[in-house]
A and B are shown apart, each in its own frame.
Chain A
Amino acid sequence: MHYAELIQFVAFLGAILLLAKPFGLYMARIYEGESTALTPLLAPLEKGIYLFCRIDGAEMDWTRYAMALFILNGVMGASLFLLLLLQGGLPLNPNRVAGASWGMALNTAISFVTNTNWQSYAGETGVSYLTQMAGLAVHNFLSAASGMVVAIVLIRGLVRKNAHRLGNFWVDMTRTVLYILLPLSLVVALFLVSQGVLQNFGANKAVALLQPQTTSAGVIREQVIPMGPVASQEAIKELGTNGGGFFNANSAHPFENPTPLSNFVECLLILLIPASLTFTFGRLVRNPGQGRTLFYSMLFLLVVAAGVMYRAEIAGNPLVTKMGVVGPYLEGKEVRFGVGGSVLFGSLATATSCGAVNAMHDSLTPLGGLVPLVMMLLGEVVFGGVGVGLYTMLSFVVIAVFVAGLMIGRTPEYLGKKIEVREMWLAVGTVLTAGVLVLILVGAAVLLPSGLAGRANPGAHGLSEILYGFASAANNNGSAFAGLDATSLFYRLLTAAAILAGRYVPLLASLAMAGSLAAKKYSPPGLGTLPTDKVTFTLWLVVVIVIVGALTFFPALALGPVIEQLKMIS
C-alpha cells in the first residue's frame, strides 16, 4: 500500500469519526424542534413557509404521514416527467436540448423522485439547465429529505409509547431541507467552485484542439466544452446520497470533481448524513449505545469491503501483469484519484445508496467489482441512503433481535417494544423486497433477447453487468456498472419498476412499523433483557446481514464475478 493512500484512508476514517457525532446530535436537535445556532437566522423563514403553505404542524398518524409523503412524491414525480418532456421549449436551455422521450422521462422522473438517480441519459445532451436545476436538483433535496423523515418517524415509533401520532410530514420536511440540507449544500457548493467546479448558465463552448486528431471519420479540429450550473447540484448530489451526475461521466468528470481534495470532500459528504443519523438515533432513543451499535456494525462492513476492493485493485489483473505492465491497476480510473481515491469513492457510493462514480466500475477487477455489487445486494444497509439506510437497518435489527431474543429465552423486544407477528411481516418485507426484485428481474433479463442486448460484454461479465444494473435499481442506488446499455425501453421500464417497488415497499413497511411500534407499551429492561448495545449483538447483526445477503445471492455471484475471478487467476 502506498503511504499517500494509507494516509488518505486514515484521514477519511478520522474525519468521519470526528464529524458524525456532533452532526448527528445537531440533526437530533432539529427533529426535536429545539433551537440551534442557525435558528435565529432561519426561524423567520421557517415560520414564513408554514404561514404561506398553511402548515398547522398538527401531528399525524402513520397513514396520514404516508399519504402526505405519497402526495408530495407523486406531484414532484409528475412535474419532473412533464418538465423533461417539455424542456425543449422552456427557457434556460442555451444548448437547445430537445424534450425527452416518454420512456426516458418516466425512468428519470421515477429515478430522481426515489433518490435512486439512475441515469438512462447523458446529462450533457439529455437535459436542459432548467431541468437540471428546477427538476433534478430540487428532487435531490426532496427525495433525500423524504428518506430522512421516514427514518425519524420510525425512531419516534420506537420512542413513543401507547401513541398514534408520529409528527407532521410537512414540518419534518421543511426542517430537514432548511436546517440540514440547504446550509451544508451552500457551503460545499462554494468550496467546490473554489476547486474548479463550474457554476454558470453559459452555452457549451467549442474550442479548437491544440493538436487536431485524425480518425476514420475524418480530422477532428475542435472540442465541445460543456458548461452549466454544476456546483450547486454537485453538493446535494453527494450530501443527499443521490448520485445523479450533471455530466454523464459523473464524478469522474473534471468539472464535477476536479481535484483529490474535492474528491476527499465529496467522499466525506456521501457518508456524512448516513453515518451521523446513527448518532441522531442514539440521541433520540436516549441511549447512545444503541446508535453506536448501528454505526460500528455498518463501519465494520464498510472497512472490510473497502479493504477487499483495495487489495483486489492493487493486485490488478494477472493477465495484464503478464504482459509486462507494472504499477497500480489504473484501467478505468482517473489518474488524479489513483487506486486509493477510486476505491474510497466507489466503496462509499455503493455502501451508501449514493451511486455516484468517479471510475468505471465495469473496468474494475472481478473481485474489485464484486465489492460494490455486494454492498448494494446487502440491501443498502452499510450506511445506505440518507434515512433509508437507517430504516432498512432497523428492520435487520428487528430480525436479529427476534432470533437472538429467542436464543436467550425471551419473547423478543427491541428498545422495550415487543417484536410480534406484524413487525416480523414488515421487517421481512423491508429487508427482502430488493433481493426478490433482483432475483426475478435478472432471471427474466438473461432469458430475453432484449435483456441480453443491453450487455457490453459476453460471458460471465455480461451477467455481472445485468446483475449490477438491477441491484442498483432495486436498491435505489443508481450506480452504473457503465457496461450495461440502459437506454432501451426494456431496461428503462424494468429498472423503473424495480426502482419504484424497491423504494416504496420498504418505505411504506417502515412507516407501518413506526405506527405499530408507537402503539405498543414500553417494557423497561431487566436482567433477562437482550442487551442490544454490546459487542456481541453488534457482531450478530453483522452476521445476520451478511448471511441473508450471501444466502440470497451466492449462486448469482458464483456465476458472475466469482467465476470471472476464478477464470482470471487460473
Chain B
Amino acid sequence: MTAATSSATSLRAEQDRGRRNAQNKEKWAQGRTYISAAVILIWCLAPAYWMVVTAFREVGFTYDTSILPSHVTLDNFNTAFDTSFGNRFGQALLNSVFIGGVVTLVSLIIGVFAAYALARLNFRFKYLVLGFILGASMFPGVALITPLFQLFTNIGWMGTYQALIIPNISFVLPLTVYTMTSFFREMPWELEESARVDGCTQGQAFRKVIMPLAAPAIFTTAILAFISSWNEFLIASQLSSDATQPVTVAIANFAGAQPNQVPYTAIMAAGTIVTIPLVILVLVFQRKIVAGLTAGAVK
C-alpha cells in the first residue's frame, strides 16, 4: 500500500477498489493454481492408473482402450503368481526383499560409521574421501558388469545371491553415506558435548545419546537404500538366474503360457503388486522421504 495523501473518503474508496482487485487477482491466481495442480496430478497418476486398470482386465481384452475399467477380473493376479509357465514371480518377490534387505543392512552398518566421521570429525584427506565416495556413486554400472561377468563366470558365481548383492552395495553404500552425512550434520551435537562433560567417552556419548536421536534418520536412509536396491535392473538382468532373479528382471522377462506369448495384463498385475508396497511406503513416510531426498541438496 502506498502512503495516500488524499482525503479519508477517497482513500477508503481506493482501498476498497484495491482490495476488490486484489481479491479478484487472488481468485484468479488461486484458480490457476488449482488447474496447474490438476495437470500435475493427471500427468503423474494417469500412466499408473492405466497400469492398474489393465491389471484388472481380462487377458482376451488386453488392448481394450476404454478409459474406465472394463472386463474386470482378478485372474491376472493369479497368472502373475502362476509358476506353470516358468515364471517365478513369488520367488522373485522374496529375492528382491532378501537382496534389498541384505544390501540395506550391510550398507547401513558400514555407512553409518563413515557418515559420522565425515559429519563430525576433522581430518586430513576428508575431501579426498568425500570425492572418492561421490565418484563411486557416479560410477556407471556397465563398467562394473563386464569384469564381474567374467569373474563370476570363472569362479562359478553366476546367478548366485552374492553376485547380485556385492555390486548392489557399490551404489547403495555411497548413497547411504551421503544421506546419513547430511542428516548427521543437522543433529544437535551439543547434547553429545554435554554428555561428554558428564563423563561419557566419545563412544559412549555416540551410542547413548546420538544413536537414539539418529534413529529416524537411519530409518529414512534405510527406506531410500532399500528402494534403490529394489529398483536395480542392469546388474540383475545380466548376473541373476531364475532362482535368484529380483522382481524387476522377472517382470521384464515375463513369459506367457506359450512360447512367444507375452501376457501384458499379467505383467501389469505384477507391476501393480511390485509398486503398491512402495507407494504405501512412500505415502506413509512421505515427509521423511522428502526430507531424506532433499537433505543433502539444500542444507
Q: Do A and B bind each other?
A: no
Interface of A with B (CB < 8 Å)? none
